[in-house]
Structures are given as structure tokens and as C-alpha cells.
């Protein structure tokens, strides 16, 4: 999540009431999670296991719960609860604004786009030309939709990420400040749910077609010309490369990559990253031919007994 204008280390420290280490005028451009940080970003870390990863990442400001040596060219924000203060930053720069109308005045809708009855379109949504948005679709704030996109009834774009910290008093949610981006010629079936990114974008690439009742988790990036069948559940932070086919009732772990042109057969559990250009089946996932050989061999053994 980038700020609308650059901030200084001193300004951010005041917002979250934290101690800062570094030049007071050190420039900060936004906040991001560790897997997508860039120069100018703040990243938070609250466990010693991940200190080195955060300190050596592309992030140039580290929000951390221990005073450590500051890497050259970077700055630190010292907090007793980085998770809480990361939420403070998100809320400060991207506050929730309640809507009072079905289609926000700030929404931009392109020519020849059809909006059916009972659609909700939030603040600062952008929808391109020649789209069809069917009844009861909900499009949360800041979503971006390209040209020639079709979204079927009851689909939801931009719900919060499923991301919580387990505290003694209960689960504490990491506030989502990202958005959903649909590129041109994307089709979404009925009752799909596409969660926004925590700090970045959940993105669906040009020409991808998604069936009914598919869930896409936060910060997932789906490539171009993919086909995803009904009742598939894709976790957060997954990368699905171009021209992947995923058949019905597939589930994935978070943080994995499915390579270009891969085919995932129905009811497979994608428990790890897989290379492109191959067909896969089963849980745990394996190449489909190998898995089917194993099942055939097991069947022969059972017959012999």
C-alpha cells in the first residue's frame, strides 16, 4: 500500500507513538508485507525467527519489537507491538469510509458497461468499458476492473484477508489495505469471493475465466488465460502462472506457485509448488500419471490378497 504522498520517519513515529532510529527526514513511501516489499516501504516483524529476513529485505524501514543494530541505509521503528502499529498505519492512511448509496459518487464506470439492479459499488472503484455486472454483485472500495469483464450474480470483490494473530484474549485481525484488480476479458461466475490484498493487489490476469463458487485468497496473483472450475479454493499469496487449468474442488496451500500451463485435476490438494507444463492429481499432489500408476498398483495388491 503506497501513501498518497511521501512521509518521513518522524511523521510515522508520531502516528504510532514509537521510538525511531535513523534520520528524522528519512523518506517512507508505503507499507507492505515481507514477500512484496520494495525500497521505501515499511515492513513489520514481531518474532526473532524473522528478524534477519525483515532487516535484510528490500524494505527500508523496519517496524520491530526489539532495538537492534540498524542496517546501513535503513531506519527502524521500535514498538512493543508491531502488529498493532502496522494496523494503525493502515487505518490512518486508508480509513474505512461508510457508503450511503449503492454506487459511490467517486466510482468511475466506463462506456457501454451494464450495471444490473442491486449491485453495490464502493468508493473509488474503477470499472472499464463494455462490462456486465449482474445482480447482487458487491464491489468493495478501490477495486479496479478492466474492459470487457463479466461478473455474475452474488460475487464479492474485495472482502478482507483471512489473516489473524492469536492473542490470549482472542484473534486479532490484520487490517487489509490492498485491493482487487481484474484485467481485461476476465469472467467471474456466480457466488465467487475474491479477497483484497493485505497491502498489495489480488490480481486476476487478462482473459482468465473462473467458474461459480470459487474463492481466491488475499494477495494471490492469477496469470493470463487460466481456467478455474467450480468450488476451487485458492489460499492467500499464491502465484498461478499463465494458461493454468484447475478443475473442480481443488484446494491449495498458501505461498505456493503453480507453473505455466500446468493442469490440476479435480479434488487435488496442491500442497507444494509445482512446475508448469505437467498434469497433477491427488493429495499430496503428484504428477497424474505417477499417481494413477500408484493407485493401480495398490488395487492389484489388494486383489492378490
Q: What is the DSSP string of 80-121?
A: S-HHHHHHHHHHHHS-----SSSB-TT-EE-TT-EE-TT-EE
Catalytic residue among 134, 152, 215, 218, which? 218
Distance CA 125, CA 54 (A): 33
Distance CA 5, CA 229 (A): 41
**Are the beta carbons of 117 and 135 closer than 8 angstroms?**
yes
Count CB atoms within 10 A of the CB of residue 112: 12
Q: Tell me the Ramachandran region of residue 118: left when phi exceeds 0, alpha when psi lies from -120 to 50, beta otherwise.
A: left
Which SS3 state, helix, strand or coil, does residue 176 take? Answer: coil
**Are the beta carbons of 276 and 259 closer than 8 angstroms?**
yes
What residues contact residue 139 under an 8 Å CB cut-off, 6+ apart? 119, 120, 121, 122, 125, 127, 133, 145, 157, 158
28-to-12, 60, 85, 260, 296 alpha-carbon distances in Å: 8, 8, 15, 35, 58
Q: Has 215 been annotated as catalytic?
A: no
List the grid coordinates of 178.
Answer: 490492498
Q: What is the DSSP string of 35-55?
A: GG--TTEEEEE-SGGGHHHHH
List the grid coordinates of 225.
Answer: 488465460
- Residues belonging to the active site: 218
Amino acid at each position: 500500500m503506497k501513501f498518497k504522498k511521501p512521509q518521513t520517519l518522524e511523521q510515522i513515529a508520531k502516528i504510532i507513538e514509537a521510538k525511531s532510529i535513523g534520520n528524522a527526514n528519512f523518506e517512507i513511501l508505503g507499507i507492505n508485507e515481507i514477500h512484496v516489499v520494495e525500497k521505501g516501504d515499511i515492513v513489520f516483524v514481531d518474532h526473532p525467527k524473522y528478524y534477519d529476513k525483515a532487516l535484510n529485505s528490500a524494505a527500508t524501514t523496519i517496524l520491530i519489537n526489539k532495538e537492534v543494530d540498524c542496517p546501513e541505509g535503513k531506519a527502524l521503528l521500535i514498538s512493543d507491538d508491531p502488529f498493532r502499529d502496522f494496523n494503525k498505519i493502515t487505518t490512518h492512511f486508508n480509513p474505512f469510509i461508510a457508503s450511503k448509496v449503492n454506487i459511490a459518487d467517486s466510482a468511475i464506470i466506463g462506456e457501454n458497461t451494464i450495471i444490473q439492479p442491486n449491485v453495490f459499488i464502493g468508493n473509488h472503484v474503477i470499472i472499464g468499458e463494455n462490462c456486465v455486472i449482474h445482480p447482487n454483485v458487491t464491489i468493495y472500495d478501490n477495486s479496479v476492473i478492466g474492459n470487457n469483464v463479466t461478473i455474475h450474480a452474488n460475487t464479492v470483490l474485495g472482502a478482507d484477508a483471512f489473516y489473524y494473530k492469536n492473542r490470549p484474549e482472542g484473534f486479532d485481525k490484520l487490517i487489509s489495505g490492498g485491493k482487487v484488480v481484474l484485467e481485461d476479458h476476465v469472467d467471474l461466475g456466480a457466488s465467487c469471493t475474491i479477497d483484497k490484498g493485505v497491502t498489495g493487489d489480488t490480481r486476476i490476469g487478462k482473459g482468465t475465466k473462473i467458474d461459480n463458487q470459487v474463492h481466491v485468497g488475499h494477495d494471490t496473483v492469477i496469470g493470463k488465460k487460466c481456467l478455474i472450475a467450480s468450488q476451487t479454493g485458492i489460499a492467500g499469496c499464491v502465484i498461478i502462472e499463465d494458461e493454468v487449468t484447475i478443475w473442480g474442488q481443488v484446494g491449495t496451500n498458501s505461498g505456493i506457485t503453480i507453473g505455466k500451463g500446468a493442469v490440476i485435476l479435480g479434488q487435488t490438494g496442491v500442497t507444494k509448488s509445482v512446475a508448469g507444463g505437467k498434469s497433477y492429481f491427488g493429495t499430496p499432489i503428484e504428477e497424474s500419471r505417477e499417481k494413477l500408476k500408484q493407485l493401480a498398483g495398490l488395487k492389484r495388491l489388494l486383489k492378490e490378497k
